[in-house]
Structure 1
Amino acid sequence: MGLFKKNPFGHILFLKKWLIRILGVITHARYKQFNKLEIEGSDVIRNLPDTNVLFVSNHQTYFADVVAMFHVFNASLHGRDDTIKNLGYLWKPKLNVYYIAAAETMKKSLLTKILAYAGSISVERTWRSEGKEVNRQVKMSDISNIAKALKDGWVITFPQGTTTPWKPLRKGTAHIIKQYKPIVVPVVIDGFRRSFDKKGLRIKKKGILQSMHIKEPLEIDYENESFESIIEKLEYAIEQHPSFLKVIPQEELLAYEEEHKERRWRKTKSGTSV
């Protein structure tokens, strides 16, 4: 690799490699020591092509989810079977992995800018901005950047656009799937909301069992399947379809509601928008 070789977004790959290595070493204990990450589906990762793969996942924190995926994907590609032990997999990380994130989130601090350089595709949310409801058109440059990332490698997206569970999926994901025809891999995560704060930067509680289930790619009829059908298929695959609420224990739902109320109270007390 040339010292100044760049990816399609102008990021220097040598620098990106070292950022992933350093961030990986710093964050590894969050999933291996302070908490335990249970993984299922490493073989799926190893059987994927190098480009045009879209990972679709539920969302629990801003950053801890995607950082865990970087660990799991690279460990799997280096022969680890459902484990992230032995940090050697960080020496040669897969550099063409991207994740879709809100532009306003990725611009807030030096740390988020560093995380953005490591692989984010920053997009402007069409429904919410700075804590307020908005209604604006999708930027075509955002769509073209997602297409560019798929052409170059793998893309991770959280189609609910929020860390609140069981919210409807954004239809833009179905449009991307029909237009660019990627291999669609569902990922289901759990335990991150209990382990970390909402941003996923601070460890909130130790000893939590986290889980990541990487499922087999979905069968999608790109030409004939409707947007609604694709969305419903994604909702079931990442276990966020409303029907799942019927089988979730009542105490778990109540615990989430209490946590959500507490978070809203803290934000209101600090004077931030909710």
Structure 2
Amino acid sequence: MPLFKRNPFGHILFIKRWIIRIFGIVSHGRYRRFNKLEIEGSEIIRDLPEENVLFIANHQTYFADVAAMLHVFNASLKGRIDSIKNIGYIWDPKLNIYYIAASETMKAGLLPKIFAYVGSISIQRTWRSQGKDVNRQVKMSDISNIKKALEDGWVITFPQGTTTPFKPIRRGTAHIIKTYKPVVVPVVIDGFRRSFDKKGLLIKKRNVLQSMVIKKPMEIDYENESIEDIVKRIEFEIEQHPSFLKVITPEEYLERENDLNRKRRFWKHHQKKPQ
């Protein structure tokens, strides 16, 4: 590969590879040492096509969610099954993974600008800007960039457009699915909000059991399913439909806590084993 080969967005792949390597090494302990990331379904990653894949996920922090996915996706492609141990997988990362993020987030400081080089498709939000509600038109250049990224590889998107749980799904994601007909892979994460600050840069709490569930690609009738149908299905797939809000009894709560503690002991026991 030529040293200064660029991707469709003009990013030099040599530089991108080294940024991923460096930040991959720095962030690895956040999911293996300070906290434990439990993964389910990562074998699905290996069977996906090289391009036109759209990952849809719930959102808990600005950056830690994407970083965890990059770890899991690359580890799976290197033969790990539901594991990110032995960080050697990061030395030769998949370079055509992109993620959709608000442009104002990616311009807020030097670190976000570096993260943007990893694969950000920065878009202008049509409903929110600098903490205020707005109502503006979709920029056609944003749609064009999403199309460009899908044609080149994989795209991660957070269809709620916010880290606040159980917010409505933005119709734009359904329009992307109807228009470009990608393979749509749902991802459900948990524990990131408890373990990191909102930006996902600082560790807020240790020994939190994080989880990532990668589901089978959705079967979508691109021609006949309506935007509303797809929006509703996304809500259920990423477990953000209001029906997932449930008041539990004290007995159910205690059982959940006991189950979590059992899992924590399990992970602590395996942590002591040589990797």
**Aligned residue in 1 for 2:109:** 109
Question: Which amino acid letter does the alignment assign opposite residue 145 of structure 1?
Answer: N
SS at match of 2:245: helix
**Aligned residue in 1 for 2:154:** 154
Deviation at 1:42, TM superposition (A): 1.2
Cα deviation digits, residues 237-262 of structure 1 (max 9, x gap)? 00001111136679999xxxxxxxxx
Aligned partners of 2:42, 2:59: CA distance in 1, in Å?
20
**Aligned residue in 2 for 1:122:** 122
**Aligned residue in 1 for 2:72:** 72
**Aligned residue in 1 for 2:29:** 29
Q: Does 1:206 align with 2:206?
A: yes
**Aligned residue in 2 for 1:38:** 38
**Aligned residue in 1 for 2:267:** none
**Aligned residue in 1 for 2:52:** 52
Question: Which amino acid letter does the alignment assign opposite residue 169 of structure 1?
Answer: I
Aligned partners of 1:129, 1:42: CA distance in 2, in Å?
35
Cα deviation digits, residues 186-219 of structure 1 (max 9, x gap)? 0000000000000000000000000000000000
Question: Which amino acid letter does the alignment assign opposite residue 98 of structure 1?
Answer: Y
Q: Does 1:215 align with 2:207?
A: no
Question: Which amino acid letter does the alignment assign opposite residue 210 of structure 1?
Answer: Q
Q: How does 1:1-274 map to 2 (within 5 A)?
A: 1-246=1-246
Q: CA RMSD in A?
A: 1.5
**Aligned residue in 2 for 1:264:** none
Deviation at 1:9, TM superposition (A): 0.1
Cα deviation digits, residues 137-187 of structure 1 (max 9, x gap)? 000000000000000000000000000000100000000000000000000
SS at match of 2:141: helix
TM-score where L is the length of structure 2: 0.90
SS at match of 1:5: coil
**Aligned residue in 1 for 2:269:** none
Aligned partners of 1:206, 1:250: CA distance in 2, in Å?
25
Cα deviation digits, residues 50-107 of structure 1 (max 9, x gap)? 1000000000000000000000000000000100000110111000000000000000
Question: Which amino acid letter does the alignment assign opposite residue 113 of structure 1?
Answer: K
SS at match of 2:62: coil
Aligned partners of 2:246, 2:40: CA distance in 1, in Å?
25
Aligned partners of 1:24, 1:206: CA distance in 2, in Å?
19
Q: How has the CA–CA distance of structure 1 residues 229 and 38 changed in structure 2, closer, same or farther, with 3 Å as cutoff?
A: same
Deviation at 1:126, TM superposition (A): 0.3
Aligned partners of 1:129, 1:232: CA distance in 2, in Å?
26
Aligned partners of 2:205, 2:142: CA distance in 1, in Å?
36
TM-score where L is the length of structure 1: 0.90
Q: How has the CA–CA distance of structure 1 residues 251 and 20 changed in structure 2, closer, same or farther, with 3 Å as cutoff?
A: farther
Overall identity of the aligned pairs, in %: 75
Aligned partners of 1:72, 1:248: CA distance in 2, in Å?
32
Query: Could you list the runs of 5+ residues in structure 2 that have no partner in the other structure?
Result: 254-275
Aligned partners of 1:141, 1:251: CA distance in 2, in Å?
52
Report how many residues are paired: 253
Q: How has the CA–CA distance of structure 1 residues 129 and 39 changed in structure 2, closer, same or farther, with 3 Å as cutoff?
A: same
SS at match of 1:118: helix
Aligned partners of 1:91, 1:114: CA distance in 2, in Å?
18
Aligned partners of 1:142, 1:188: CA distance in 2, in Å?
25
